[in-house]
Structure 1
């Protein structure tokens, strides 16, 4: 699994899929960080993706380089952990121009009960 996480940290941008009205919705996205076995992402609570995840908490994110594909899917759990919000903002400076840790619109979430597919292997978490 270490190799998969290293790949993800080096290839943080990709495609993020949710479900809306039983149909897939895919958009460009960025992975934030892995911490303690949790895979963290963020959004704003005024976006469609936030509403979609509240209605159906299952998602998938994929990133790639040539023929190497990383895919992670699982169930989203939202968090109000202010220290994790600060950590995400520190490790992703571009977000600081959009949000602050106490911004009521800024939402963070992690994946729980999911799996990773990478280099022909599958890992459960």
Structure 2
């Protein structure tokens, strides 16, 4: 999980794919955090991505930087504890312009049953399961 976290942090922006009924949806994300030994992302409950993850929590994340890309398959699990929110805001204080812990909109999700592949153009593949 550490290499996955480091890669996503280095990218800054990654892309998350969800399903909206029978249609795929992809959008940029920028939050990633490790809290209590799990990899977390964050969004707002009012967003379509939240509704899509509640309906089908299987997601895929992809990003590219410095001649390497990542493909991360996982099941997203919502964690609405204030502690999870606060941990994300400590990592990303700029989010406090839009969200607050326990505001009824903030949503943190951890990734489980995850397989991450970091692949270089040269062919090296790093696999992490968490």
Task: Confirm or deny a common fold (TM above 0.5).
Answer: yes
Q: What count of residue pairs does the alignment treat as equivalent? A: 125
Once the two structures are superposed, what CA deviation does each residue of 1:56-115 show, in whole Å capped at 9, x if it has no partner? 001111221142112222101001221121110111022010011021111111111111
Per-residue deviation at 1:22?
1.8
Once the two structures are superposed, what CA deviation does each residue of 1:26-58 show, in whole Å capped at 9, x if it has no partner? 011113212344211111111111110111001
| Shift in CA distance, 37/62, structure 1 to aligned 2, threshold 3 Å | farther
Please, which moves more after superposition, 47-56 or 1-10?
A: 1-10
Check the 8 A contact 1:61/1:73 in 2, yes or no.
yes
Check the 8 A contact 1:32/1:92 in 2, yes or no.
no
Runs of 4+ in 1 over 6 A off after TM superposition: none
Rounded to whole Å, the distance in 2 between the matches of 1:80 and 1:12 is 24
Give RMSD over aligned pairs.
1.6
The residue aligned with 1:98 is: 98
- Which ranges in structure 1 are unaligned for 5 or more consecutive residues? none
Match of 2:69, SS state, is strand
The residue aligned with 2:129 is: 124
Check the 8 A contact 1:12/1:63 in 2, yes or no.
no
1:39-118 aligned at under 5 Å gives the runs 39-118=39-118
TM-score, scaled relative to structure 1: 0.90
Check the 8 A contact 2:5/2:33 in 1, yes or no.
no
Check the 8 A contact 2:18/2:60 in 1, yes or no.
yes
Per-residue deviation at 1:24?
1.0
